[in-house]
Every structure is written in structure tokens, then in C-alpha cells.
Amino acid sequence: MNTARNERTIYDILTHLLKKARDEQQPITSVEAFDNNDVRRFAETVNKVSDTLGHMWRRGDMVDRFPAPKQFNSQAKFSYQWKPEPKAAPKAISPKHDQALDRSIRMGATSVPDAGASTRRVVIERPTIQVSDDGANVVIDLPSLQIIIRSRA
């Protein structure tokens, strides 16, 4: 029996059950998951299902864990369901943002600089952060914050 394949199959079956639990807004316990025939084919005991659910929860952003309701036929401590889909993706910083104008206004400039005059070189650009360098300063742009690091020389 291929153990690695069984592990993957158990994860796939439990993922399907947890997503169904999310859609029905009814978390499931390891005992309820073990009652599923597909799970029983690949997990020998309820403990195996419990361990797998616990591992999925500890991995982070996949599974929510709740206290299990007390039932006469179960000693389960926790119930699980797949985490809801995020409402909206974080907004990316637009590279076309007129940073030269913002910078000159913050620094007290009396004239508006030409938008094309900025000689900043983008060092790192990710969806929620941009790091640029203009030779004298390093600028870190976040969605709601801008950090300017000036050279002392």
C-alpha cells in the first residue's frame, strides 16, 4: 500500500468534505468525517482523521477550527470547516501613481515637478509594496503608508 498516495487521497477527500461544510455553514468533526465511506477506505481509525484535520488546521490559512458540540456518541474536541473565500483581493500599488508630485508637496516644494522628471528606479515591486531608489533616497510605498529613507551623505 502506497502511504504517500493514501495521505494525498485523505487530504483531497477531507478538503472536499470541509468545503462542503463551509458551503452548508456546518463544521464537521473527525467522527463525522470518519462516517464518510471514502474516508474510511483510506483512514484506519478516527485518530488518523483527527490527526490529518489537526495538521490541515496547523498549516495555516486553509481550515477554521471551532469547539465541537457535545454529543453522546463522540469525544471530538474540535470541529472544522474550510475557510471562507476572501471578499476582495488587496489593491495593488499602481506604478503610474504620480509619486514625484506627492513627494514634492510633502517636502514643501513651491513648484510642481514634471511627472516625467522622476528618475526613480524600482528595486522591488509586489502587489502591496514597492521599493524604489532615486540615488539620494530609498522610498518604500505601502497601500496606506510611505517611508522615505534619506542618505546622510
> Which tens digit of pLDDT belongs to each residue from 69-126?
777 777 778 888 888 876 665 565 554 445 554 554 455 444 444 444 457 788 888 8
**7 and 69 inside one domain:** yes
Domain contains 93: no
> CB-based contacts of 153: which residues, under 8 Å, 6+ apart?
none
Question: 66: domain range?
Answer: 3-82
Distance CA(37)–CA(128), nearest Å, equals: 44
Q: Which of 37, 57, 82 is the last residue of a domain?
A: 82
CA 76 to each of CA 32, 110, 128, 137: distance values in angstroms, whole numbers, following the listed order: 9, 68, 40, 57
Number of domains in the chain: 2
Domain contains 91: no
The pLDDT of residue 118? 57
The pLDDT of residue 110? 46
**76 and 107 inside one domain:** no
> CB-based contacts of 112: which residues, under 8 Å, 6+ apart?
101, 104
**58 and 11 inside one domain:** yes
For the chain, what is the mean pLDDT?
A: 76
The CATH number that applies at residue 12 is 1.10.10
pTM for the predicted model, two decimal places: 0.50
